[in-house]
């Protein structure tokens, strides 16, 4: 038992423990920070304290430290910023491909969900909020991509600029077409995009609250 963390866990419920500002846990017998090999010959368990605050098991302590380290490494602002950028890039890419081919390509949603999820993952998140935001951004990106595609087709068919149609379009009518697309075959791809946006938004090592992914 040579690691300082292990020693502190061992000594915290000893009757000879003491805490000194600036030094932490010390031994009343020696006046020094505990340091020994194996077990302390002078150890005497404080039974009353043990009842109120049982000594944590090594595996529980390790899991707690691991989770705290993961939470400390989170960067939600970075994740959201990159997620929003990926959301916009994905929507534009969806529209460009759809306009150039003349087809509404539903599986573009899968690529959008993957792009947003991977971007969100850069924030090293482990809390569920990362996945929720990732799924929301993936959905927004899909809807935007569908919307821009319809605007692009109208502009192409009428030989006018994209911006002219965008500024003067009947958004209610355009969105009704988007809803029709979602209700058709693309709803399956939207579902996959949402799943990817959620699942891939977490740290590459850990899922929500430390679960493996």
Q: Exposed e or buried b for every residue in 35-65, given b needs 16+ CB within 10 A? A: ebeeebeebeeeeeeeeeeebeeeeeeeeee
- Please report, in tens digits, the pLDDT of each residue of the chain (213 residues total): 445 566 666 677 777 777 666 667 778 788 787 777 777 777 777 766 666 555 555 555 455 445 566 667 788 999 999 999 999 999 999 888 888 887 777 778 889 999 999 999 999 888 889 999 999 999 999 888 888 888 887 788 777 787 777 777 766 777 776 677 665 656 788 888 889 999 999 876 455 655 555
Contact 14, 44 (CB under 8 A): yes
Q: Which helix (H) or strand (E) holds 7?
A: helix 4-11
Q: Are 92 and 130 in contact (CB under 8 A)?
A: no
**Residue range(s) defining the domain that contains residue 15:** 1-61
Query: Within this chain, do residues 97 and 134 fall inside the same structural domain, yes or no?
Result: yes
For residues 110 and 157, membership in a common domain is answered with yes
Statement to judge: residues 56 and 88 lie in one domain: no
Do 160 and 91 share a structural domain? yes
107 in Cβ contact with 142 (< 8 Å): no
Count of structural domains within the chain: 2
Task: Indicate whether 106 belongs to any domain.
Answer: yes
Do 47 and 127 lie in one domain? The reply is no
Compute the distance between CA of residue 129 and CA of residue 193 in angstroms, rounded to an integer: 17
Asked if the structure places residue 160 within a domain, the reply is yes
Q: Give me the DSSP letters along 70-100.
A: HHHT--HHHHHHHHHHHHHHHHHHHHHHHHH
pLDDT of residue 1: 41
State the pLDDT at residue 61: 46
Q: Considering the domain boundaries, does residue 210 fall inside one?
A: no
| Cα three-residue angle 89-94-146, rounded to 5 degrees | 110
Q: Is residue 212 in some structural domain?
A: no
Whether 211 is covered by a domain: the verdict is: no
Whether residue 131 is found in the same domain as residue 180 = yes
Q: Do 168 and 81 share a structural domain?
A: yes
Residue at 134 is within a domain:
yes
DSSP calls for 173-192: HHHHHHHHHHHTTHHHHHHH
Residues 82 and 46 in one domain: no
The verdict on residue 213 lying in a domain is no
- Is the same domain home to 45 and 136? no
53 with 98, same domain: the answer is no
């Amino acid at each position: 038992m040579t690691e300082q963390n292990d020693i502190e866990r061992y000594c915290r419920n000893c009757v000879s423990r003491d805490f000194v500002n600036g030094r932490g846990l010390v031994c009343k017998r020696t006046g020094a920070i505990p340091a020994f090999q194996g077990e302390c010959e002078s150890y005497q368990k404080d039974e009353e304290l043990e009842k109120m605050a049982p000594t944590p098991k090594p595996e529980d302590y390790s899991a707690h430290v691991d989770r705290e380290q993961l939470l400390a490494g989170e960067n939600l602002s970075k994740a959201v910023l990159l997620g929003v950028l990926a959301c916009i890039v994905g929507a534009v890419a969806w529209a460009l491909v759809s306009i150039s081919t003349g087809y509404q390509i539903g599986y573009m949603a899968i690529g959008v969900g993957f792009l947003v999820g991977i971007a969100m993952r850069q924030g090293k998140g482990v809390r569920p909020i990362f996945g929720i935001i990732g799924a929301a951004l993936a959905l927004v990106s899909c809807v935007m991509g569908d919307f821009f595609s319809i605007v692009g087709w109208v502009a192409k068919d009428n030989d006018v600029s994209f911006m002219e149609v965008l500024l003067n379009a009947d958004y209610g009518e355009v969105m009704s077409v988007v809803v029709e697309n979602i209700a058709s075959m693309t709803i399956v791809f939207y579902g996959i995009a949402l799943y990817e946006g959620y699942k891939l938004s977490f740290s590459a090592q850990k899922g929500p609250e430390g679960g493996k992914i």
